[in-house]
Chains A and B, each alone.
Chain A
Amino acid sequence: EVQLVQSGAELKKPGESLKISCKTSGYKFTSYWIGWVRQMPGKGLEWMGLIYPRDSETRYSPSFQGQVTISADQSITTAYLQWSRLEASDTAIYYCARRITLFGVVAAAFDIWGQGTMVTVSS
């Protein structure tokens, strides 16, 4: 069974750093892009970016470029999303998701999703 299992909820203070994880299983990790999607409280979905674990190529939405870093570790089939300095506006649920295979475009639909990680940033 293909699964993406995310790390647990986080409560952080403004200015702190954070790295959340997305552990994958049940498929070949290096063959699919993994993406991250933000959902602020009571709001819709926002596409943040993607990583291709085979070579760590990353693509970011212009809205999130420079604000977060996406990475992956092939040895433990895990993708990461990290912040160097959190702000209150980063409070949201963050989902990782597997991108379906599609050539010729950066993004594509996500067929398997993690359960989400709630990040709360408050002083």
Chain B
Amino acid sequence: DIQMTQSPSTLSASVGDRVTITCRASQSVSTLLAWYQQRPGKAPKLLIYKASTLESGVPSRFSGSGSGTDFTLTISSLQPDDFATYYCQQYSSYSTFGQGTKLEIK
């Protein structure tokens, strides 16, 4: 199994901040990686796929980068709706998710 490790597990930030979440794979997944946002009590929402492709309708303040084993999700200017938990997902070999990063209000 490919293991996905996200850091940090929890991130405290303020509205307007620029934040970055990291996802590391235990072996190369090329660019077969997605990012999701999950708000409490809701289903996950796809933000980015193929490491850097923004899903239709997702605000441009979200961006993704990376390839191989190291990936980042960046939110350029945090908005109140962005405080949620974020997951990465590899789909190179079956699929596994990272453990999640909870983005909290500072």
Contacts and interface: CB of A to CB of B under 8 A. Distances in A.
A45 B36 CA distance: 10
Interface in B16-57: 32, 34, 36, 38, 43-46, 49-50, 55
A87 interface: no
B34 A109 contact: yes
A47 interface: yes
B97 A46 contact: yes
Interface residues of A, number: 23
Nearest to B92: A105
Interface in A59-108: 59, 61-62, 95, 97, 100, 102, 105-108
Contacts, number: 60
Given A44-B100, A115-B43, A116-B43, A107 B87 contact: no
Contacts of A44: 87, 97-100
A20 to B, nearest CB: 15
Interface of A: 37, 44-47, 59, 61-62, 95, 97, 100, 102, 105-111, 113-116
Interface of B: 1, 32, 34, 36, 38, 43-46, 49-50, 55, 87, 89, 91-92, 94-100
